[in-house]
A = this chain, B = another copy of it.
Amino acid sequence: MKLKLIATVATCGLLVGTSLAVAQAPSSAGAGLPPPGAGGFGGANTRLQILPDNRVTFSISAPQATAVSVSVQDEPEISRSVTFTKNDAGVWTGTTTAPLPVRLYRYNYRVDGAVVADQANVDYSLSNSGLQAMFEIKGADTAFMSFKNVPHGDVHEVFYRSAPLGGILRQLHVYTPPGYEKGGATKYPVLYLLHGAGGDDDSWSTIGRANWILDNLIAEGKVKPMIVVMPAGHIVASPGENAPPAPPPPPTVSTPGLPGNIPGMGGGPPGGAALNDVDLYSKDLRGAVMPLVKANYRVLEGPANTAIVGLSMGAGQTFNNAFYHPEDFGYVGLLSNAINNRVAIEADAAKLATAKKNFRFVYLGIGDKDGSYPAFQSLRAYFDSKGFTTAQQVVPDGRHSWDVWQKNLADVAPKLFR
């Protein structure tokens, strides 16, 4: 999670004396920025203000720019509603034309065609293509995922070299529940929680708010304390790896019967691995991530203590890992899933029998405005026809976006490990 300190008073970063000048921050354009409001972030070069009526004012210093706009993710109308004007100090400012709905948002700026992250609002969230900052319009609909006065778990940043991927350096995030760090011998069940094509391993603990959602539900006694593992779903190396020890292995051959390879499903390079038992993502998950988790954390093992839930691309990865390896999982959650990989289910009668025995349920989460909604309906019917127990949450007016997946997580988590 990237929530961080910000400078609510622009001058609080002043340095003492000339001897420290080499550490001086980038020059401030704060003089031209509006003062921080009651709902405002501070900072030197940008400012975001949430007005009392939930309109939002964006400001960015760009003295030589000719075109400035804001891009609020999944919100093209809101983005278009903000018109920026430049003041004499070179600061561009624009305000949404209407109050924004209660929700957690991600955004960045466009300055003369460049994609620009907010420098002052350091409540960052990474996507597969870069960085966005977040802001929250608070209300009853976000209370379940707000930071409350309850015991809190930790989010860990963990690095590892993935032997199945040729030794490249990768990262995952791990949530441990309140009290875990005091030690002892208590072991916990594990939820593997997978992001989508646009995300990375930080997504569930930033824009997804998985940690605070679980903190709140655990405090209410509604969720069993659990470890949540949030792996990286794209098969790429971390930065800082100027010379990886070895290139990743070539994509494996597709499972016969699958309709070709599917780019972007985490299977590896474009045109590479498919949704099969041995795609690169599964090799990393099963060959590196799961062993790391079992070796380093106090985890209960076996299907009754192991859940896997993923969204969109991560739902496809969940589908495959669960149905090719039903001996490992007891709970399966597919959020905004577009793919029904029947091969995984139908190719092996023994695996199908194991899945039906082990899976307490297959959970399906979706928004009713999601383009995958028809796929959800047919998938639900398919699982029913195969004799699986299903559970579902359809979010009204829900799109293919994080406000749906936040609600799905809060809905499915209480059902796990019961």
Binding site for B on A (CB under 8 A): 1-9, 11-26, 28, 38-39, 41-46, 50, 60-67, 71, 74, 90, 108-109, 111-117, 119-124, 126-131, 134-136, 138, 147, 149, 152, 154-161, 169-171, 174, 176, 179, 181-186, 196-198, 200-202, 205, 232, 234-240, 242-243, 262-265, 269-270, 296-298, 312-313, 338-339, 370-372, 375, 399-401
Contacts and interface: CB of A to CB of B under 8 A. Distances in A.
Contacts of A239: 3-4, 6, 41, 121-123, 134-135
A130 B123 CA distance: 10
A198 B129 contact: no
Contacts of A169: 3, 147
Given A8-B237, A112-B64, A185-B184, A15 B198 contact: yes
A63 B110 CA distance: 11
Nearest to A185: B183
B61 A113 contact: yes
A264 B90 contact: no
Q: Which of A18, A43, A74, A130 has the most C-beta atoms of chain B within 10 angstroms of its own C-beta?
A: A130
Nearest to A266: B12
B23 A236 contact: no
Contact of A2 (B2, B18, B135, B370): B2
A134 B8 CA distance: 25
B181 A184 contact: no
A42 to B, nearest CB: 7
A75 to B, nearest CB: 10
Contacts of A262: 16
Nearest to A271: B11
A396 to B, nearest CB: 17
A interface SS class: loop
Nearest to A130: B119
5 contacts: A5-B236, A9-B270, A12-B234, A16-B339, A45-B130
Contact of A38 (B21, B205, B237, B243): B243
Contacts of A5: 126, 128, 170-171, 200-201, 232, 234, 236-238
B263 A14 contact: yes
A112 B197 contact: no
Nearest to A18: B371
B152 A154 contact: no
A126 to B, nearest CB: 5
B114 A65 contact: yes
Contacts of A196: 20, 23
B135 A240 contact: yes
Given A23-B74, A149-B161, A158-B152, A242 B64 contact: no
Given A45-B115, A171-B3, A236-B6, A129 B26 contact: yes
Given A19-B338, A147-B169, A338-B20, A154 B161 contact: no
A130 B117 CA distance: 10
Q: Which of A128, A238, A263 has the most C-beta atoms of chain B within 10 angstroms of its own C-beta?
A: A128
Given A111-B62, A122-B239, A157-B154, A128 B3 contact: no
Given A184-B183, A198-B23, A239-B121, A112 B63 contact: yes
A112 B114 CA distance: 10
Contacts of A298: 181-183
A184 B5 CA distance: 33
B242 A136 contact: yes
Contacts of A19: 338, 370-372, 375, 400
Given A12-B269, A129-B13, A183-B185, A156 B154 contact: yes
A22 B181 contact: no
B158 A12 contact: no
Contact of A117 (B3, B117, B265): B117
A9 B263 CA distance: 12
Contacts of A296: 179, 181-182
B4 A113 contact: no
